[in-house]
Structure 1
């Protein structure tokens, strides 16, 4: 079982952390893989390509087919963009579960799909905060989750590690070093125990499925920053489109159209796949919903036998 680390040479926020990681001890070239640069260190493989980071689909299955090695998880280095231009170091799951069949995803992936979220997301967010603070990047850089979004398509537990939010910050070598250290320590390459390894035997087996709120998931973040909390997919408001029932074409006020049910089901199933034996509990950003939206979502979660939790349920 190997961890696949993916970077693209076209993005400084991707290749710089990869190069910082590869400058650490123990790396060897190979194995060969589809004209990409590859490096190995214990159970970790670094793959560097020259395409868009969100468009190179199925790298996990392609790696398995080419090398015979089973991929356990996929981690991507990437840049982050934001309207605010605020410097940030982010961690997030990927997918576009709200898109309808036939829609073209603007940033990779495929409609209705969500990759299994890496169980490391919560523990690594907390580790990232610790490392960034020790390197004096906080408070200049915000350490944050992001909602589930974009591609590329993968089928193994996946997460993105991103540096934002402008070109000046993408090129910051100190940020690249922090991201490389996150991977080095998080995967136990330095000799310590790996961080965020999921096991059915975990004492705490409750997993947060975030529903609602803004892209940076502030209400969910408040919980995930607590030690011991596991987190799966995070569906921001834009990923659960709901049409106002008053404006429904059917004229039936009980019908709430939109792909919100599809998105919730896909996110739940992918999270359950990533956390075998875990209890997946939905956490709603209550204030982000109108009453009819909240009632519809809670009703649907009940139909799907998905428990709704309060913050204290995850500690």
Structure 2
């Protein structure tokens, strides 16, 4: 079983952590998924596409169909926006269970639906907080668990890991590096 990390080139808060991850040892090109390039590092697969993440439904199932590899979990790298514009590092499950059938989700998903939450949400949040503190990102950046509020649809346990809340912060390399270090550190202690 593999971990599927999903990134997009249209989001600066996805580009930074992706670049930081791919600069770490062990990555090599993987198979194409319907024209989407992938990268492989042990049991991790990173997809790097040019579309909106919240609209890329069933990437886990599509990966399994193309490669034959079962997906254990999906992790999306994305940006967070908030009215407060406060710098933040967030983790959250996905889905729009609060919407009724017939409502149109403004940012992907299916009304009344939520993906199974990734069981790493809690451990990753604690590790992200420790890394953010060690790299002097706090108290400038708030490290927080966010409520679910968008898609895409997946069948695998899923979470979003995000940098917020404005373009200035989405492009911060220190925040991107902190997210990459969570992934690397978690694999070392997993």
Q: For residues 90 and 43 of structure 1, what CA distance do their matches in structure 2 show? A: 24
Q: For residues 116 and 184 of structure 1, what CA distance do their matches in structure 2 show? A: 23
Q: For residues 98 and 87 of structure 2, what CA distance do their matches in structure 1 show? A: 28
Aligned to 1:47: 47
Q: For residues 33 and 42 of structure 2, what CA distance do their matches in structure 1 show? A: 17
Q: For residues 108 and 185 of structure 2, what CA distance do their matches in structure 1 show? A: 29
* Secondary structure at 2:55 match in 1: coil
1:116 and 2:116 matched: yes
Asked which structure has the greater CA Rg, the reply is 1
* Secondary structure at 1:161 match in 2: strand
Normalised by the length of structure 1, the TM-score is 0.60
Aligned to 2:19: 19
Q: For residues 114 and 144 of structure 2, what CA distance do their matches in structure 1 show? A: 20
Aligned to 2:161: 161
Runs of at least 4 residues off by over 2 Å: none
Q: For residues 160 and 14 of structure 1, what CA distance do their matches in structure 2 show? A: 11
Q: For residues 89 and 134 of structure 1, what CA distance do their matches in structure 2 show? A: 14
Displacement of 1:91 in angstroms is 0.5
Residue by residue over 1:37-77, the C-alpha shift from the partner in whole angstroms, topping out at 9 and shown as x without a partner, is 10000000000111111111000000000100000000000
Aligned to 2:30: 30
Aligned to 1:138: 138
Normalised by the length of structure 2, the TM-score is 0.98
* Secondary structure at 2:72 match in 1: strand
Aligned to 1:193: 189
* Secondary structure at 1:95 match in 2: coil
**CA root-mean-square deviation:** 0.7
Equivalent residue runs for 1:217-232 within 5 Å: none
Displacement of 1:32 in angstroms is 2.1
Q: For residues 33 and 79 of structure 1, what CA distance do their matches in structure 2 show? A: 23
